[in-house]
Amino acid sequence: DSGVTQTPKHLITATGQRVTLRCSPRSGDLSVYWYQQSLDQGLQFLIQYYNGEERAKGNILERFSAQQFPDLHSELNLSSLELGDSALYFCASSAQQGSYNEQFFGPGTRLTVL
């Protein structure tokens, strides 16, 4: 158990809908990362927050947004969902902001868009 929690575990929704994925980092970790993993793409970095501020942004679509709250939990919002958004979404946390630091991954949220 990495100490990172993600909810929900599974999410099934329809195209055009909006969903919110939630992540609680390990106790004491200030950095949260979001990744998307689909079968043909591998793990793709979406965005990183550090202590409530956006730190780095990867190939995150404009339909996706995220935030980190004062209690350090983070939410990833996906809107106008398309079939291609079906994937495993992982959250990871680390103690500091540099990507050099070991990342602890949550169990993931499996999103299915029908």
- Please give the residue ranges that form the binding site for other proteins (CB under 8 A): 2, 4, 33, 35, 42-45, 48, 56-58, 88, 90, 92, 99-100, 102-108, 110
- What whole-number distance in Å separates Cα of residue 15 and Cα of residue 24? 27
**Would you say 56 or 61 has its CB closer to other proteins?**
56
**Would you say 22 or 110 has its CB closer to other proteins?**
110
**Would you say 62 or 102 has its CB closer to other proteins?**
102
Planar angle of CA 113, 9, 99, nearest 5 degrees: 95
**Would you say 39 or 70 has its CB closer to other proteins?**
39
CB of 113 to other proteins, least distance (A): 18
Q: Which amino acid is at 49?
A: Y
CB of 16 to other proteins, least distance (A): 27
- What whole-number distance in Å separates Cα of residue 114 and Cα of residue 93? 30
CB of 9 to other proteins, least distance (A): 10
